[in-house]
Structure 1
Amino acid sequence: MNDPQKAAEQIAAAAKQNAAFYLTEIPPEIEPTRRLLEHSGIAPENVDAHIRKILIEQRDKAWAVFPYGAIGSFRFLDFNQTLQDPLFETVSKRLRAPGSAETFLDVGCCLGHIVRQLNAEGVPSERLYGTDLQASFLDLGYDLFRDRDSTRATFVAGDMIREEEPRLEELIGKIDIIYASAFFHLFEYEDQMKAGKRMVKFLRPENQNAIIFGHNGGPKIVGWEKYVLDEETWRHMWDEIGEATGTTWKTEMNVESNDEWIKVRFARGSTKIQNARDRLSKVAILIDRVTKKG
């Protein structure tokens, strides 16, 4: 954002809106992060102290950069949902397959825990990429996992919806699998279109098995434009993206809902988005996959 005053106002407004998400205690569902910290070289007997001292400090630094709800609630430490997704397991096996040279990109990677998780599972770090709007988040990730000098993963700061973004050009044509979690629901329809088209540019054009997947969701907050994916509009959006990029995409979506949340699962392609402000008090979107057809 080029206007410092406008940026400061947006951060202040987001902090007020997301105040309910700011927790003072680390939640118990952080075992995946605990294992990653041990993999990063922190002795098991020191992990708890690291979590108590370092992680809270790092979380507060990240919150100061921008007060995302996932930061305040320590959601960035809890990625059990991702690990329990059969598609994530499939992707991990695909990346670890003998002779595989495929690459993986986490869009909106925050501190880069998914990239580190795949590396811990055996995927060579030189085939792993992460990008986030906030360069400070990427720096905090290096501090958190203590791998600034050891990892060969590539982390790039950039704006996915900016028309011209030179910082992201190094990713063009390099990626086979894109993970976009807690990402699409941040934007209105037109900006989701921009992000989707940029993702297509990142993919290797010769790979007909390219895939985009992830989990997206978030509570509706008064004053924010929140969109929930439905099958028809999401498919329509990716039809438009395909037409603009000369590609074709297949989508699948399963919807589960209760009184508070809608959960949307999609596979192979693209789907529809509609404004949920007038219908839902809370929205959760789980994206399974978007797969290239041609």
Structure 2
Amino acid sequence: MSSTGEGAKENDPLHALDTAYAMDEEGLTFMKAQTGIEDEQELKKHIIAVRAEGYSIFPYGCIMRFAFLQLRLSRLPAYNQLLALGKERKDAIFLDIGCCFGYDVRKAIDDGFPTGSVIAADLHPEFWELGHKLFKSTPETFPVPFLPGDAFDPAFLEPTAPFTASRPPPAPRPDLATLTALNALRGHVSAIHASAFFHLFDEERQTQLAHALAGLLSPEPGSMLIGGHRGQPVAGVRTDLGRRRQDGTKRFAHSPESWAALWDGQVFEKGTVRVEAVLREVERPGDLAGVSGDTKSYNLCWSVTRL
């Protein structure tokens, strides 16, 4: 039997999920405007090709399922709150961590967040480069600074206590274009977006990451973190996965209650933040069913706002 052609495609798990390709009218309009590709079939071919390159770099499920096309950030309940910060706060900084191809950053800018106040970060710099390919841009036409780095490397992002009005950040706001690590942003970020990110880790590392991101946040009231990732009605090891991480640890899923308790009382002093967290049930393809064969899963959509 030939190992090429249609037979090979049928045995390719990535190709098998090409049926997950979907955009609603808003997403389609956005992608056409960003790429300049009006023909929908040509646009689909272009997106599928970039997705295959991205999956070869690291096989994240969100790439396999085309989740990067779903306008995740703009559909979170607190999105308009984030946009208001960009319009109303002088020199507001917006950080998208775990940005992948930069889809959400581009949507926020398209919706009015000032380009010069945005910065993105990811472990894999190749994803940012593929973002330029996906959106047919260049560093000159889309001059948002990008920082490659590991969020668990203290030289890049070190956990620290959140700054407060009585303990403001000691250094002035940095020039985003000159940064080499996120640590220089401590106490200066007005909004942080982290979607499809926390759920990649066990509970201990999620807690570490929460402390690290909190240290970046400005002490000004209204400064916020926002995101969405896999959650569960009852906190515990993720039931939608049948595998461990490569390092042997098990991925953890928070419930709305455990997520609120983490931020309000552990990361930030109790009563100094407002945490909003809701579960949205989603249907997963049968190929991605959990260990019990259940295709039901939950997204935890959340925001943490300083009071």
TM range (shorter): 0.7 to 0.9
Larger radius of gyration: 2
Give the secondary structure class of the aligned counterpart of 2:302.
Answer: coil
Residues 1:151 and 2:142 are matched in the alignment: yes
* Deviates further, 159-168 or 19-28: 19-28
1:176–1:26 distance in 2 versus 1, CA, 3 Å:
same
Given that 1:92 and 1:123 are in contact with CA atoms closer than 8 Å, whether structure 2 keeps it comes out as yes
Cα distance per residue 1:141-196 (max 9 Å; x no partner):
11211222212322212111233326333433331011111111111111111211
- 1:226 is matched with 251
Q: How does 1:1-294 map to 2 (within 5 A)?
A: 19=13, 23-25=17-19, 27-29=21-23, 31-40=25-34, 42-44=36-38, 46=39, 48-49=41-42, 51-79=43-71, 82-97=73-88, 100-148=90-138, 149-165=140-156, 167-205=181-219, 207-217=220-230, 220-224=240-244, 225-238=250-263, 239-242=265-268, 248-255=272-279, 283-293=297-307
Given that 1:132 and 1:158 are in contact with CA atoms closer than 8 Å, whether structure 2 keeps it comes out as yes
Cα distance per residue 1:19-77 (max 9 Å; x no partner):
48962346232544433333336153x4641x233211110110001111110111111
Give the secondary structure class of the aligned counterpart of 2:254.
Answer: strand
Q: Unmatched 5+ residue regions in structure 2? A: 1-11, 157-179, 232-238, 245-249, 285-289
Given that 1:22 and 1:73 are in contact with CA atoms closer than 8 Å, whether structure 2 keeps it comes out as no
Cα distance per residue 1:186-239 (max 9 Å; x no partner):
11111111211221222223x222111111127721133232223443344322
Given that 2:256 and 2:300 are in contact with CA atoms closer than 8 Å, whether structure 1 keeps it comes out as no
Given that 1:242 and 1:249 are in contact with CA atoms closer than 8 Å, whether structure 2 keeps it comes out as yes
| Distance (whole Å) between structure 1 residues aligned to residue 136 and residue 26 of structure 2 | 16
- Structure that is richer in helix per residue: 1
Cα distance per residue 1:259-293 (max 9 Å; x no partner):
x79xxxxxxxxxxxxxx989x87542322211123
| Distance (whole Å) between structure 2 residues aligned to residue 220 and residue 59 of structure 1 | 23
* TM-score normalised by the chain length of structure 2: 0.70
Given that 2:278 and 2:302 are in contact with CA atoms closer than 8 Å, whether structure 1 keeps it comes out as no
Q: Unmatched 5+ residue regions in structure 1? A: 1-17, 262-275
1:257–1:42 distance in 2 versus 1, CA, 3 Å:
closer
Opposite residue 84 of structure 1, the aligned amino acid is R
Given that 2:121 and 2:146 are in contact with CA atoms closer than 8 Å, whether structure 1 keeps it comes out as yes
- 1:273 is matched with none
CA RMSD of aligned residues (A): 3.2
* Deviates further, 224-233 or 143-152: 224-233
| Distance (whole Å) between structure 1 residues aligned to residue 271 and residue 125 of structure 2 | 31
Cα distance per residue 1:91-141 (max 9 Å; x no partner):
2233234x6432211121110111101111222211112211111111111
| Distance (whole Å) between structure 1 residues aligned to residue 192 and residue 225 of structure 2 | 5
